[in-house]
Every structure is written in C-alpha cells, then in structure tokens.
Amino acid sequence: MDMKRDFYYLLINGERMESSNGGTIEAVNPATGEVIAKVAKASKEDAEKAVQAARDAFDHGKWKKTSVNKRSRVLNKIASIMRARFNELVELEILNSGKTVSTAQGQVMQAIEDFEFYAGAIVGHRGSVNNVAGQFHNYTEKEPVGVCAQIIPWNYPMMMAAWKIAPAIAVGCSVIVKPASLTPLTAIILGEICLEAGVPNGVVNIIPGSGSEVGNYLVEHQRIDKVAFTGSTPIGRDIMGKASETLKRVTLELGGKSPNIVFEDADIDAAVDGSLYGIFYNTGQSCEARSRLYVHEDIYEEFIAKFTEKTKKLQLGDPFNKGTHVGAVIDQNQLDVIDGYVKSAIADGAEILTGGKAAVIEGYENGYWYEPTVITNVTHEMKAVQEEIFGPVVVVMTFKDEKEAIKLANDTEYGLGSAIWTKDGAKATRVGSQIQAGIVMVNCPFSAFPGTPFGGYKQSGFGRELCIETLDLYTETKSIVSYYGSRPLNPFGIQ
C-alpha cells in the first residue's frame, strides 16, 4: 500500500472512490505551505452512501455477530500492520500536520497501542448477573449501539482517529469517520489498514469533507445512532443541539484552558521542564495544553527566569530534524488567531517576556510558524487568559496560597486538563480533588495513556475516551429478567 500519493480517495463500503461531484481538498504541508496531495471532498451524496454502507454492514453484516476473540485478533492485526508501516505513517503525519518528528512518533505509537489496548479490553467487556429477590434471574448483555459518526480534529489526526475507531469497532459498531479537511491523509490510510486487517466492507468508512455540509448531515441523519466529536466547544454545542432532534447518543471532547500550578515546595527544574512541555508540545495546539501557568509568589522570580530562558532555547524549523522542539502552526487562519490573542493581551496591558509574533524560519519562509510566547502581568478577566488560544502561548501569574491557587484554577468555563507540581503528596491529593477538571497531572506533563480516562468537566465536554469505560459509550446494556419458579405467575390473581 503506497501511503504517499498525489491523490487520496474516499473510502466507502470497502472501495476507494472520488467525490460524486468531483470536489477535492488540497492537503498542505504547514511547515512549507506547499500542496502535497489532493483529496476527494465528500458531498452530501457521498455521506449518504457511507451511511447506507455502514447501516447495511451493521444491520445485515457479520461484524457485530463476529466472536469477541476474532474481533480482538483483527484489532491486533490492525496494530501489527501499523507497526510494520510505522515510519511511513510518521512521515505522512509530519507532512500533513507540520508536527515535529518526535511528536509524530509518539502519537502514531499511541494510535497503535490504542488498537492493542482495545483488543485486550473487549475480551473482558461483558454483562453482569444481578441478585433479584424471589424466584427471578437477571442478567445483562452488552450490544453495539449501531452506526457511529465520528468527527475528528486536525491537531491529532492519526491518534484521534484511533481513539474513535478502535473502541467502536471493538464492540461491533460500524463507523463513518469525518477527518478534518486540513489533515485527512493518515485517517484515510488507517481506514485502508482496517480493511487489510480483515474488517468487513462498510464497517469503517472515511469521508473527508466540510463540517458545515458533511458533518452536519451525519449529525442530523436519522439512521446514525451515535456521534463522537472532538473539537471546539462552540461546534460541540451545535452538534449536541442537532443530535438531540433524533436523540442520538453523543460523546463530546471539547476545548480547554488548563491550569498548571507550581507550589513553593516543587522541584523547580522539573516543574520548569514539565511546564515547558505542557504548553509547547504539539505547538500548543492541544485541547489540554497547560496554557495558564500559576506560580507561587515565593518562587516566581526564580521560576520565571528559568522558564523564559528555556523557552528562548526551543528550536523551530525542519520537522524531520530530531533537534526541533516546536513544529508549525496548522494554517494561516490559526496563525492569525494566535497573533490576535497575543495582540489583545498587549492591548490589555500584559507584558511579553519572549516571543509574541509570527516566526520566519530559514528554508521554511512560506510555512506557518509562531514564536513560543510567554505573557505576564495579566489579569483573569483578559481574553487571553479566559479563552482557548490553541497555539504556543502561555499566560503566567502568581498566587499566594493553596486556596487562591484552587480558585484561580477553577475560574474558567473549561475543565479538561490540569497539572500540579509539589513534593507534598497530601497537598497534591488535596488540591487535585478540588480542581474541576477531568485530568490531573501530578509532577508530570503527560495526560494520556491507553487505559487512562480522558475527558472533561464543564464546557470541555462529557464522556471518557482511551479507557475501558469508553466501550460502554459504544454499547447498549440490555437487561433480561426470567422467572424460574415452579408455579406459573398470576399477578392479578384471577382464577
């Protein structure tokens, strides 16, 4: 299978096909601004074909009836093929998203491990037997929810596709994946790998297209049973409203403005390094980027000096160079959004310690780059503090005690990630229990491993991905009650 191509097709019912109206999308390398391929752009007609294919595969196909052990073997086969083509997948992810090589390697590896995790998790995912008074027996069964529309973002193209596809097909669902128009390439390849591994036609369909046309069509479609969406909070609200018209199951993983709290007893060097990674990893284009940095006033001067110095040392440039730390911003529009937030902070009286403008990289002058930026002298009312910037920008402020740190951390409409740096285990537990977020990282900058629940509180959405509980989001629980008494039941007592 050739991954690098000039043209990428839709994948519907096991077949590669062009758009019904001939529409295409240009896939661009954000690091250079160059078009690297053309991609078929799905229309509503194509979306309907995908719905019919997925519906037929679910209602009349064999996948949902396939034994758990066999589905598990197929998921492991998907992972095996991905491992064999690891370097190709990494290269394609870099070309289409502008990520650094180390970032892309980590994300592709996690995508592989997701399939391996769910291959094991599905074997133990079963119903229960419940105690019922009297001569009754009750047990439950887990059944796949049906046809699932899965809408994934541009910031983690391969990894998000795996997060969505793996648990859904593990339990026997059929899926229609709409990757982001900016980064559809690895999702298309993943769909083809699923077919190669033995997933039947129609179970996995990949249809790049616009959210306003194809995405909305899927969300509103009567024959779609569930929608899983990762993306911005405003679009998540819109999807939830549209899905409610047909009472679809919905999972939403949305925006974030995650706090990063550094206490006075923290290992400062470890906190500096972890905080650096927490915001500048993936060019800050991450829903749980720790973009609000709170430092105890007693260590602020030492911390901020070290943090700013290391920020200035971050390398931008060739994404394939292992020495590059920060990759490209996804496109010009996002670059403008990031710069707009920084300018608003300056206008509001904030101070830029480093960065604060678009970067020009030798050899990559036509790409989309932004300097890693540290902003201080901010107040909590500022737009740059309250709203998700989705770029390599962090706002920094001080706090005086534990109570204030918790208050500041929770002063946001979001609740996805959070981080705590302290040597005091009791303090970490105490503070962590009061932070309104789905993820709390203690003395580490990593938030997601296969098996660890990932999801948010408040406006960051609901539902948990990447864990065993995710399987429940793609299944219905059927309760079966039977009577085993020796005499027939006569509830009304009529003789």
Q: Are 396 and 374 in contact (CB under 8 A)?
A: yes
**Measuring CA to CA, how many Å separate 40 from each of 33, 43, 210, 265?**
20, 9, 11, 55
d(CA 495, CA 492) in angstroms, rounded, equals: 9
Q: Which of 97, 57, 55, 386 is nearest to 225 (CA)?
A: 55
Q: Which of 194, 63, 58, 67 is nearest to 123 (CA)?
A: 67
Q: Which two tokens stand for residue 485?
A: 């008494």
- Whether 444 is a known active-site residue: answer no
Q: Which of 116, 253, 388, 465 is catalytic?
A: 253
Q: Which two tokens stand for residue 180?
A: 């982001």
Residue 85: count of CB within 10 angstroms of its CB: 17
The residues with which 24 forms a beta bridge, in sequence order, are 40
- Whether 253 is a known active-site residue: answer yes
Residue 357: count of CB within 10 angstroms of its CB: 13
d(CA 171, CA 470) in angstroms, rounded, equals: 10
Collect all residues with Cβ–Cβ distance below 8 Å to 484 and sequence separation of at least 6.
Answer: 135, 136, 137
Instruction: Scan for tokens 């990630």, then name that residue.
Output: 417
d(CA 206, CA 229) in angstroms, rounded, equals: 15
Residue 247: count of CB within 10 angstroms of its CB: 8
d(CA 446, CA 340) in angstroms, rounded, equals: 28
What value, to the nearest 5°, has the Cα angle with vertex 285 and ends 398 and 309? 45
DSSP annotation of 133 reads S
Q: Which of 287, 288, 465, 467 is catalytic?
A: 287
Helix (H) or strand (E) holding 223: none
Instruction: Scan for tokens 């999308």, then name that residue.
Output: 25
Q: Residue 59: what residue type?
A: D
Collect all residues with Cβ–Cβ distance below 8 Å to 270 and sequence separation of at least 6.
Answer: 421, 443
d(CA 465, CA 416) in angstroms, rounded, equals: 12
The residues with which 370 forms a beta bridge, in sequence order, are 358
d(CA 328, CA 31) in angstroms, rounded, equals: 5
d(CA 179, CA 94) in angstroms, rounded, equals: 16
Instruction: Scan for tokens 């990559």, then name that residue.
Output: 364
Catalytic residue IDs: 253, 287
